[in-house]
Structure 1
Amino acid sequence: MSDPTLARDIDACCRLTGEFTLRSGQTSHEYFDKYLFESDPALLARVADAMVDLVPEGTELLGGLEMGGIPIATTLAARVGLPALFVRKRAKEYGTCKLAEGPSVEGRRITLVEDVVTTGGAVRDATNALREAGAVVETVVCAIDRSPAGENPLADVRLEVRPVLTRADLASARA
């Protein structure tokens, strides 16, 4: 069961009202700015603390996805004593040309760390790329799962989603 106080505090911090243009091009009078909880040290610490028990046994690396998963993965890594890995959206085209910055991923069991999962597009891409590099990726822990209740948007890539909070948790925080 999730922490209703954490849901309330994240919702209060991140839910903005005004006039916003969404990625789809539509306009909205409400916007959820996830970076506000990630940039707040106290809220970020509470999210990482709530994730500790979600990290599967046998995890060797925590793979924070660019950009929102990186601060969470770094904070979580400090709590569980595992190395963090920073996973880019695309491999850089210079220097080491790496997709994932940090220790080698080949043969390693990686748990991905993301801020918000809705459709899972970025997580799916990272999972496929890391698996191609020889990593074992079976789980993503996320701060917020905004996918429809009871659906796993990453079932097609056999990835378990372990959220701290769900869309329903945030909705009930406003009730």
Structure 2
Amino acid sequence: MYEACHLAGSFRLRSGQVSSDYFDKYLFEGQPGLLREVAEAMVGLLPAECDVLAGMEMGGIPIATVMSQLTGLPTVFVRKQAKAYGTAKTAEGGPVDGRRVVLVEDVVSTGGALLESCRHLRAAGAEVDWAVCAIDREQGGRENLAAESIRLRSALTRHDLESAVRT
């Protein structure tokens, strides 16, 4: 995974932070075998109380779609902003009201995108207590999510990836 998606350089993250390394999720999500491996690992992280998977735009959507295929759980696709036309929804694909929704994300740094999506889903009536991700960059996301009563489970952490390369 590290070899497939780690880039070195200078990168501005969604949080505004600048990082010397970057995990480009599209580099693993574009490889069917690796995407399936990641989705399978993330299925094992799902809590028993899950009615709907919520794939975050844009990187969480392919993972949530494969997880849906593996589990039979329905999936909604969560936009960063509701579109101004059509249904004008933030979450597309099915109902969330009264359902236990698990957020699905590719890479978590500070958790800002997940927190914003969680607010939209909760406003739509969803019960959101869990998030799962492929990679936790370990930059405060877990703690920021916990402050909003969301537990994060990750398939891999930045430490896991860096340790695997050193061995």
Is TM-score (shorter-chain normalized) higher than 0.5?
yes
How many residues align structurally? Answer: 164
2:110 alignment partner AA: T
User: Partner residue of 1:15?
Assistant: 6
Determine the C-alpha separation between the residues in 1 that align with 2:54 and 2:121.
Answer: 10
| Residue 138 (str. 1) matches residue 129 (str. 2) | yes
Amino acid of the residue matched to residue 12 of structure 1?
Answer: E
Q: Does the 8 Å contact 2:111/2:141 carry over to 1?
A: no
Residue identity over aligned pairs, in percent, reads 52
Matched, 1:106 2:97: yes
**Residue 93 to residue 43, structure 1, CA distance change in 2 (3 Å):** same
* Paired residues for 1:28-43 under 5 Å: 28=20, 30-43=21-34
Does structure 2 conserve the Cα–Cα contact (< 8 Å) formed by 1:114 and 1:142?
A: yes
Separation in 2 of the partners of 1:164 and 1:151? 13
Q: Assess if the C-alpha contact under 8 Å between 1:147 and 1:153 holds in 2.
A: no
Looking at structure 1, the residues matched to 23 and 144 of structure 2 have their Cα atoms a distance apart, in angstroms, of 20
Does the C-alpha gap of structure 1 residues 163 and 26 become closer, same or farther in structure 2, counting only changes over 3 Å?
Answer: closer
Q: Which has the larger radius of gyration?
A: 1
Shift of 1:150: 10
Q: Counterpart of 1:73 in structure 2: which amino acid?
A: A
CA distance in 2, matches of 1:98, 1:129: 9
Q: RMSD between aligned alpha carbons?
A: 2.0
Q: Closer, same or farther in 2 for the Cα pair 1:149/1:117, shift >3 Å?
A: closer
Correspondence for 1:71 among 56, 62, 73: 62
**Corresponding residue number in structure 2 for 1:174:** 165
Q: CA-to-partner distance for each residue in 1:65-97, whole Å, 9 max, x for gaps?
A: 000000000000000110111000011110111
TM-score norm. by structure 2 comes to 0.90
Distance 1:60 1:116, change over 3 A: same
Question: Structure 1-normalised TM-score?
Answer: 0.86
Gaps (5+ residues) in structure 2?
none
User: Is the 8 Å Cα contact of residues 61 and 83 (structure 1) preserved in structure 2?
Assistant: yes
Q: What are the ranges of 5 or more consecutive residues in structure 1 without an aligned counterpart?
A: 1-9
Q: Does the residue aligned with 2:102 lie in a helix, a strand or coil?
A: strand
Q: What's 1:129 paired with?
A: 120
Q: What is the deviation of 1:98?
A: 0.8
